[in-house]
Each structure stands twice: as structure tokens, then as C-alpha cells.
């Protein structure tokens, strides 16, 4: 089970959105770049970045910061948040050099965009975010509820050629309430897609529950708050060492 640390960026800072609600935003003191280097030191194989400003406005106000991260950590970067045009997707893949992009709202509103991205960049570069509330998709930074069934939507994306989705119940995001195990299992079985689970992980016990879904195609999980708040025993050892060596200077991986 691949663990993917998440860095949510809002106004250039590391944050954690709780249930996607603006008034429940939790700000962390560490800069996004520092957090990326920290996760890299803790042997992260992939890092996910969500551009929350981009998710809401569609604008790339955090572009330079994200570029600095991609050039500094030496591991693949998965990026989501407000990728709504072909031009933006092309810039992120070709110029910014992200490993793959996550499309959410645009996959709902613009199927032709998804087709074109797959044709031009390949299936491995495109992941679809399936963000749900009560079994139905939400979009526009989780602000708008749709009447679209999550499984039907995922199957539609599969017909276009998509091979992987990120599934999360937004009611659980940032709350350490535990992941949506049944929902994740159900969409994995019904679609046969590769699944990255997200939302609600509170610690080791939850991680083990998700690991039990590997046989259904759930091969990775994204986590943020549990990592930021040191919910795993091994982190105490890592973070103690990081206090000793505070430079966080990392060699680039060739």
C-alpha cells in the first residue's frame, strides 16, 4: 500500500480543509516547501499537492511555489486543483513537470477535455478525482453538490480510457473520523479501476483497514492531517531526528 502525503496549499501556506468548508480551514505553520522536503526525508515515494486557490478560482496563483517544490524534492508530484482547460493541463505536465494531474470538476463538466488529455498525454498522466457527499459527486472545490452518482460517473470515465481514480467522502476529509471503507470497496468492485483512497485516516488502525482492500484494486492512500499531527508512532523517531538536523537540505534524485 503506497502512502501518499498530501500538501494542501492556500495563499501560499500549508492548510487542511475540513469537509471542504472555508470556515473550518486549519492552517499549519510549516511552509509547503518545508513540508515537501520533510515528507521526502521521511521516504515519501510520491507527494500530492492540492492547489486550493486553483480549485476555487481556476487561477494559478501558487504556480511558482509548486514549481519550486517539483524542482526540489526529486520524487514524482501529483497535482490537483482547478485544472479546467487543456492549456493549464499542458503547462503543468510539460513545463512544471508534474508526474500526473488530478481532474475533478472538469471531468464532470467537460468530457471532451478528458478525451483530449488522454489522447495527447496518455492514461498514466490523468487521474480522476471522485469526491462524494452522500454518494453523489461534488465539484467546484466541493462547494456544489451534483445529482451524479459516483459509480456511474466512474464507469463513464473508465469508458473514456481512465484507469485510476481518487475516491473520497468529503464529509470525512480533515476530521480524522476514519475512511469510507464500504464506499471505497464498493466503487472498487463495481468499476474494476485502480483506486487511491483518501479522506479520514486517523492513524495506523485506519491504514490497516484500507490495506485490506488491496485485493479489490485499492493500492494507495492519500493522507495529510494524520501525518501533520504525528498520529503514527514511527513519526516520533523521524521528527526527533529532524530537530537535530534542521537544514532539510536534500540531494536531488537523478
Q: 110, 84 in Cβ contact below 8 A? A: yes
Alpha-carbon distances of 108 from 90, 94, 104, 137, 193, rounded to whole Å:
19, 24, 7, 9, 18
Give the tens place of pLDDT for each residue, 7-39: 999 888 887 655 444 545 565 656 899 889 988
CA angle in degrees (0–180, nearest 5) for 93-218-76: 25
In the set 131, 140, 169, 206, the catalytic residue is 131
> Is the per-residue pLDDT at 164 higher than 90?
yes
Give the tens place of pLDDT for each residue, 206-244: 999 999 999 999 999 999 888 888 787 666 555 555 554
pLDDT of the residue at 17: 58
pLDDT of the residue at 187: 97
C-alpha cell recorded at residue 217: 484494486
Q: Verify whether residue 112 is a known catalytic residue.
A: no
DSSP class of 224: S
Give the tens place of pLDDT for each residue, 91-140: 999 999 999 999 988 899 999 999 999 999 999 999 999 999 888 998 87
The CATH-assigned architecture of domain 2-244 is Alpha-Beta Barrel (3.20)
> Is the per-residue pLDDT at 202 higher than 80?
yes
Cα dihedral: 90, 168, 29, 60 (round 10)? 20
pLDDT of the residue at 240: 55
In the set 8, 51, 169, 180, the catalytic residue is 8
The answer to which of 58-72, 82-96, 153-167, 228-242 has the lowest mean pLDDT is 228-242
Confidence (pTM):
0.85
Percent of the chain with pLDDT over 70: 83
pLDDT of the residue at 254: 34
Q: Verify whether residue 8 is a known catalytic residue.
A: yes
Amino acid at each position: 500500500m503506497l502512502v501518499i502525503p498530501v500538501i494542501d496549499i492556500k495563499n501560499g501556506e500549508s492548510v487542511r480543509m475540513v469537509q471542504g468548508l472555508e470556515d473550518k480551514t486549519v492552517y499549519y505553520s510549516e511552509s509547503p516547501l518545508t513540508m515537501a522536503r520533510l515528507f521526502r526525508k521521511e521516504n515519501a515515494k510520491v507527494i500530492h499537492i492540492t492547489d486550493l486557490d486553483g480549485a476555487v478560482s481556476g487561477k494559478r496563483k501558487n504556480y511558482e511555489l509548486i514549481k519550486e517544490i517539483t524542482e526540489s524534492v526529486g520524487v514524482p508530484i501529483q497535482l490537483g486543483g482547478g485544472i479546467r482547460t487543456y492549456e493549464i493541463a499542458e503547462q503543468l505536465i510539460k513545463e512544471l513537470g508534474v508526474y500526473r494531474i488530478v481532474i475533478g470538476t472538469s471531468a464532470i463538466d467537460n468530457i471532451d477535455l478528458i478525451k483530449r488529455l488522454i489522447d495527447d498525454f496518455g492514461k498514466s498522466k490523468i487521474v480522476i478525482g471522485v469526491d462524494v457527499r452522500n454518494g453523489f459527486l461534488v465539484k467546484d472545490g466541493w462547494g456544489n453538490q451534483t445529482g451524479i452518482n459516483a459509480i456511474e460517473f466512474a464507469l463513464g470515465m473508465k469508458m473514456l480510457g481512465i484507469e485510476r481514480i481518487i475516491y473520497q467522502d468529503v464529509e470525512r476529509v480533515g476530521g480524522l473520523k476514519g475512511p469510507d471503507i464500504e464506499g471505497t470497496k464498493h466503487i472498487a468492485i463495481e468499476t474494476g479501476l485502480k483506486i487511491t483512497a483518501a479522506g479520514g485516516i486517523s492513524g495506523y488502525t485506519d491504514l490497516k483497514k484500507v490495506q485490506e482492500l488491496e485485493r479489490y484494486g485499492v493500492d494507495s492512500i492519500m493522507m495529510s492531517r494524520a501525518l501533520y499531527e504525528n498520529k503514527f508512532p514511527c513519526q516520533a523517531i523521524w521528527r526527533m531526528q529532524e530537530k537535530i538536523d534542521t537544514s532539510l537540505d536534500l540531494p536531488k534524485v537523478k
